[in-house]
Structure 1
């Protein structure tokens, strides 16, 4: 294999591993990206040149192995949406519990107010009425 082809294959390996030198990380594997990563001009790898036949096969195989970044983004987005839904459900449950407790507290206050009004309404005679006057006189 010639030195030029070795440079192209090394560039392909760098693209596969994500440790690129020239191209940005996460660049898609294409003929043009491999040629640019190898330090050559865009379009130097052509199917019409028989010297590049093996390299083109390797690039095509790497393309198929490469996961589609859009699919990864979609999977992460779906996971984030599921997490948002989960936390929204937990939040709504917490709000429902709070409203339920407020309603219970309100009902208890109303019943206590009714009992207090019934006690203060004169139906109950205070036991220590005379003693209260004794304490006041001291």
Structure 2
């Protein structure tokens, strides 16, 4: 049985180094991925088997250590995306205000034209001088 544990520990080390042989690169470290990397079937590492207790502890520790903290560039990208989204919302709100003001101006001009037509009767001739006299 120690040879079996040795195979699993070697598989775990390959996964830690990021140089797996039997599973794709970047595979998350877990009991199943170590089993597959060791050339065994999924589910062969079980907590109920005492021979795997040290291996399971090592896998858990490696999984916690392997959980990478958020990448600085990824964090900056997320912040930039959030800021872009915020500015897009502000831009859309400004456009909505502009459209509202244009419509209000249009309505006021139509109302003024109707009022002017009502005041002048629509049949008034201008009495301005043309300056040619």
> The TM-score by the shorter chain falls in which range?
0.5 to 0.7
Partner of 1:20: 20
Q: Which of the pair is proportionally richer in helix?
A: 1
RMSD: 2.4
1:79 aligns with 2:82: no
Q: Which residue of 1 aligns with 2:49?
A: 49
Distance 1:46 1:31 in 2: 8
Aligned to 1:8: 8
Paired residue secondary structure (1:12) = helix
Distance across 2 between alignment mates of 1:53 and 1:63 = 15
**Residues 1:46 and 1:81: Cα distance change in structure 2 (over 3 Å):** closer
In the aligned structure 2, how far is the partner of 1:77 from the partner of 1:65? 19
- CA, structure 1 residues 55+84, in 2 after alignment: closer, same or farther (shift >3 Å)? closer
Deviations for 1:81-128, whole angstroms, at most 9, x for unmatched residues? 56789xxxxxxxxxxxxxxxxxxxxxxxxxxxxxxxxxxxxxxxxxxx
Q: For residues 11 and 81 of structure 1, what CA distance do their matches in structure 2 show?
A: 35
Deviation, 1:27, is 0.7
Greater mean deviation of Cα atoms: 20-29 or 60-69: 60-69
**Which 5+ residue runs of structure 1 have no aligned equivalent?**
86-138
Give ranges in structure 2 of 5+ residues lacking alignment: 83-133
Bigger Cα Rg = 1
The answer for the alignment partner of 1:36 in structure 2 is 36
Distance 1:81 1:27, change over 3 A: same
